[in-house]
Amino acid sequence: MKLNGDDVRAIAYEARLSLTNAELEGAVSYINNFLEMAGRFKELDLKNVEPFRFAESRECPLREDKPEPFAQAPDILAARCAADAGAFFKVPRIMEE
Amino acid sequence: MSNMLKMSDFTPVIGIEIHIQLKTKSKMFCACPADYSGDEPNSRICPVCMGLPGSLPVLNRAVVHQGMLAGMALNCAVQPVTFFSRKAYYYPDLPKGFQTSGCDMPIAVNGWLEIKDDAGNPKKIRIHCLHIEEDVGKLLHSASDGRLEGADASYVDYNRAGLPLAEIVSEPDVSSAREAVEYVTALRRRVRYAGASDVDLEKGMMRFDANVSMKCADGRWGRKVEVKNMNSFRALERAIEYEIKRQRKIMEDGGEVLPETRHWNDAKGVTTASRVKASARKFMMEPDLPPLVVTPDWVEEARASLPEMPNEKTARYVEDMGLSEADAAVLTDSIDVARYFEGCVDAGANPARAGNWVRTEVLRVVNEKRCGADELTVKPASLAELICRIDDGRLSTTLAKRVFEAMLDGLTVDEALKKSGAAEGEVGADALGELVRATLAANPDVVEEIKSDKLDKNTKGKKIKFLQGLVMKETRGQARPDEVSKIIESALNLR
Amino acid sequence: MRFRSMGAREIAAGVREKKFSAAEVFEECLRTATDCEDRLSALAAVTAEAGRIQAKRVDEKVAKGEDPGLLAGVPVVIKDNICANGIRTAAGSRILGDWVPPYDATAWSLLADQGAVLLGKGSMDELATGVSDGSAAAVAAGYVPFSLGSDTGGSIRLPASYCGIYGLKPTYGLVSRYGMISYGSSLDQIGPFTRSVEDMELVMRVLARHDPKDSTSVSKNEIFARRTNTLKGRRIALVKEFMDFSPTLDQITADAMKRTIRLFEESGSEVIEVSLPTVARYAAACYYTIAASEAYTNFARFDGVRCGRAAEAAGLREMFETTRSEGFDGGVKSRIIVGTYLSEPDCYEKYYVAATRVRTLIAEEFYKTFDADRIDCILQPVTPSLSGKIGELNLYTLTANVAGLPAFSLPAGLQIIGPRWSDGELLDIGLEVEKISGAPKIAYFLQRR
């Protein structure tokens, strides 16, 4: 199963990426090398194998429901703030033509 | 072909997807306060809910507990081990570029809710699953109608990002817009009863999508259409009705219904095809969170904390207390009101009268003040005291209502009585006697009826009560009703 | 230039005993760094101001008679994908723009609490998708006695090898990942670079702490309590499939392997051969599948809305696409493309789901071998080759990440891999080897004076 430049550009589009010609070449080569290597998986019978969830059996730790405001919240907002966005994060037109 | 098909040849097949904000003090994966109403935008944020590079999630125990309670309220079974997945897509309200969700392995499965179908018969709507996941930020659009279409820019507020949600997916068992509304109403009631969520629609704590398709008697089954953006029960009803009509027309004309996502436009009353096309994608396991284990002890603890559910309460009120189904339904619609009512009865009030008072006066105040019945200044025991005095005949209903108003300011029954300017039975005996004589004189035919032996005991009692009412009206409720009755009866030589 | 050859333990002891001040130490190390930087480019940023303030605080504590910590006044470099509050973090990428994190990574704050002083952020390959590491160079050249790096498929052990110093990739879950910019979340671990095993142990004692902010972090810091000081009776395994030296492998590494095997045998260890066929054949494919899937989701947040670089655009798609396309290099883009492709319904089972199961087989093969053959550790080269082709450079290192095992790289281009939580044992073994073969020296050839 080999992918070509068009295939890779289509995937890149989904990933919100555009590629230069050199990058496209690199990506095509990378993904095809990868697929060749990963093709080995079909040699194995994985029907009764559990997926690896954590390196040892471990349970999700739970936090007590205690609210604690983050002191540097204003720094987060200040980090990306278009001039006319006030207390919001601004994005341009969402709907495509 | 089309002119041979009748409306009844089409059966709507509808599934409902509901998102409910679970009731917790902090967010799902971070300690930011969950209640941000009235706060500045982007003030309840931190590196975790903002998905800043390097941040990691830590699961809030209360979210799991509330999710379990909601599931149990919907008769679901709780799964002992579940895990989280990353649902990746690109959108500005999604801080990490993926949503951490329990969708691939829901915490509660195989539930159901009973509603009445369009013919009035009981019908089970099966619930496929309930899973927990984090909410996304809120988008405000710059278009003049606030809608996404035509907006040059949008603004994101992440206060809501990371709040805990339960997503509840039903099987496509709903068959009409009316059933859909009844389903969501019943679901909302039960989830509120369980304490899992306040489910306040105005605050956006409950959102729904509907999947609508039409089955035709000739064997055709139209493709499923997802309908979004219905923000109220009424919108849900109208949107489904519209969609049913739209799909039926297409199929009647021999066409094919396109499987797509459509948005409900409440102002125009139509659904329109959404131009945003999301490609199907599978989710990877969330590597930052080990599997969630819910012990049998915890499940039992949750189950034990579930209160009596609305249908059980209704049955009990009808069977044990003799209330009508309709009255019981009003009382059990909201658990705080039901508990208030039960508090009155436990404190000695007559259930019928307590039911009336709670259904009328208490509900009125609760709606005016927009508070829970548990927040009312008049506690159930105090209302019970008031009700008992009416039953004793010491207070008329009219006076009692005035006393109740005064009690809302925090006064006891006696203080309120004084304040409303009347002690019980303040009308003097002589004045009362005069009033009774005048009333009897003004109603000779009724007096005749009572004096004759033609009436049975019940009707006689009713006639006396009628006269009593007239007298009470004259005294503006200030006389003691039992005293008035005594005077009337002795005047009529019935004693 | 007296501090340049001192280890962390010596510096901390000296500061505590008032032999010299933290400020003195910091200024000298800063001079060393600034002298060498134009040739080495080991640092993405030099944190002179912040470091001076931290050094001053340490000296104030010492003056007051308060305990300044186990790492009192020790200057440190941390890899630029590890956040320090108020200090710009770029992680080797344009995508982060001028972003300044408003919080500390737990690993850094643990060091800071023990008196460590930040000298700079280590330069690195973009978002840790490569293996070059300025933090390693900074230690080798003597800027600082130790530094922090991160290892997803070998990016601590490979640079440590090249620079001739020690590098440890801890057992997965031993060191908190909070505040480290994730690449492969189930593969990444923060670990130290040092010039002595003693320093490695000191730093690990500070770092190996359960962190409630990291749900994958485990409480196990008792594993660094003293154990046996001998190689006698140890069972060292050589993996048949990873003994392929010639002709691709560097002759130096081949010689080092022979020397080290002889060292073990002469010290009374038993050197035996084991076979790990599943690991050998499938670990790389498994690693690249999981890394790509985790990376594409971890990097999805870089869209310019909340932090970092943002492109001007009329529409949202353009903003996202331009921000990301101008912000990422080809290597990161390739990985995102693979990860995205693997989430398509047609591929999902074949690769991603398969890889999560193959991973179990790999981990089990390791566990069974350690268990059944009573192995203390596996000895192998850090890399089979110096070529850059996918799956070749890091073939021998990524196996430990896939199985979550600790791996300690020794200055000669070799590494020892142990069962989970055997980090302390690995350091013990390393210490015995160091007693015989000597500790690494500063790379003085870089020094101009």
* Cβ-proximal residues to C277 (8 Å cutoff; 6+ apart), any chain: C241, C365
| Cβ–Cβ gap A65/B33 under 8 Å | no
Whether residues C315 and A93 touch (CB distance < 8 A) is answered with yes
Burial of B147 (0-12, 13-18, 19+ CB in 10 A): middle
pLDDT at B495: 57
Contacts of A52 in chain C (CB under 8 A): 356-357, 359-360, 363
Name the average pLDDT for chain C. Answer: 92
**CA quadruple C135, C140, C142, C147: dihedral sign:** positive
DSSP B70-118: HHHHTTPEEPSEE--EEEE---TT-TTSEEEE-TTS-SEEEEEEEEE-T
Q: How many CB atoms lie within 10 A of CB B122?
A: 8
The answer for C91, left when phi > 0, alpha when psi is -120 to 50, beta otherwise, is left
State pTM to two decimals.
0.90
- Test A53 with B290 for CB contact under 8 angstroms: yes
| CB spacing of C215 vs B90 below 8 angstroms | no
- Residue B36 gets which letter from DSSP? -
Nearest CA in chain B to A87: B41
What mean pLDDT is predicted for residues C51-60?
A: 98
* Predicted pLDDT of residue C245: 55
Question: E strand or H helix at B60, and its extent?
Answer: strand B59-60
pLDDT of residue B402: 84
For residue C385, is pLDDT > 70?
A: no
Range among A56-60, B252-256, B267-271, C174-178 with highest mean pLDDT value: C174-178
Cβ <8 Å between B56 and C178: yes
**Count of alpha carbons within 13 angstroms of residue B363, beta-carbon side:** 17
A88 touches chain C (CB under 8 A): no
At C445, is the pLDDT very low, low, confident or very high (cuts 50, 70, 90)? very low
Residues C295-316: tens digit of each pLDDT: 999 999 999 999 998 999 999 9
Inter-chain touch B158–A94, beta carbons under 8 Å: no
* Residues C285, A37: C-beta atoms closer than 8 Å: yes
Q: Is C376 exposed, middle or buried (0-12, 13-18, 19+ CB in 10 A)?
A: buried
What's the pLDDT at B413?
81
B74 or C395, which is more confident?
B74
**In chain B, which among 26-55 make CB contacts under 8 A with chain A?**
26, 30-34, 40-47, 50, 52
Parallel, antiparallel, or unpaired for β B164-170 and B122-134? antiparallel
- Among A17, A88, A95, the strongest candidate for a mutation testing the C interface, having the largest count of C CBs within 10 A, is A17
Residues of chain B where predicted confidence (pLDDT) is lower than 50: 1-2
C352 CA: distance to closest CA in chain B (Å): 8
User: Do β-strands C75-79 and C146-151 pair in parallel, antiparallel, or remain unpaired?
Assistant: parallel
Which member of A15, A54, A60 has the closest CB to residue C336? A15
**Interchain pair C390, A34: CB under 8 A:** yes
Look at residue B422 in the predicted model and tell me its pLDDT.
58
Q: What is the pLDDT of residue C253?
A: 80
More confident residue, C99 or C440: C99
Q: Give yes or no for residue C386 having a pLDDT over 80.
A: no
Q: What is the pLDDT of residue B1?
A: 46
- CB of C33 within 8 Å of a chain B CB? The answer is no
- Of all residues in chain A, the one with the smallest CA distance to C186 is A54
Residue pair C87/C99 in contact by the 8 Å Cβ criterion: no
Q: What are phi and psi of B198, to 5 degrees?
A: -80, -15
Three-class secondary structure of residue C126 per DSSP: helix
**Are A79 and C100 an interchain contact pair (Cβ–Cβ within 8 Å)?**
yes
CB contact under 8 A, C301 and B95: yes
Contacts of B33 in chain A (CB under 8 A): 67, 69
B 144-163 → C contacts, CB under 8 A? 154, 156, 158
Least CB–CB distance from B58: residue in C180, C212, C356: C212
B57–C contact, CB cutoff 8 A? yes
User: What pLDDT sits at residue C448?
Assistant: 37
Which neighbouring-strand residues pair with B214?
B12
Tell me which chain A residues have a C-beta less than 8 angstroms from the C-beta of B155: 85-86, 88-91
Q: What is the Cα–Cα distance from B264 to B266, expressed in whole angstroms?
A: 6
Contacts of C100 in chain A (CB under 8 A): 75, 79
Sign of CA dihedral A27, B286, B84, C309: negative
Tell me: pLDDT of C27 over 90: yes
Predicted pLDDT of residue C380:
93
Task: Compute, in degrees rounded to 10, the torsion defined by CA atoms C288, C291, C296, C297.
Answer: 150
Pick the residue from chain C with its C-alpha nearest to A29: C334
The rounded percent of chain C whose pLDDT value lies above 70 is 94
What's the rounded Cα separation, in Å, for the pair C98 and A80? 10
Neighbouring C-beta atoms of residue C257, cutoff 10 Å:
20
**Bridge partners of B265?**
B270
C274 Cα to chain B: minimum distance (Å): 31
Residue of A nearest to C287 (CA): A38
The reply to whether A2 touches chain C by the CB within 8 Å rule is no
Q: Is the pLDDT of residue C68 over 60?
A: yes
pLDDT at C388 (0 to 100): 53
**Residue B202 touches chain A, beta carbons under 8 Å:** no
Question: Which residue from B51, B59, B290 is facing C216, i.e. has the nearest CB?
Answer: B290
CA C109, CA C190: separation in Å to the nearest integer?
Answer: 13
pLDDT at C449 > cutoff 50:
no
Query: Alpha-carbon distance B206 to B196, whole Å?
Result: 12
- CB of B293 less than 8 A from some CB of A: yes
Against chain B, the chains showing at least 3 CB pairs within 8 Å are A, C
The answer to whether the Cβ–Cβ distance between A91 and B154 falls below 8 Å is: yes
Closest CA to C352 of B380, B386, B256, B86: B86
pLDDT at residue C131 above 90? no
Residue C289 has its nearest CB partner, among A8, A14, A38, at A38
Q: Does residue A33 sit at the C interface (CB-CB below 8 Å)?
A: yes
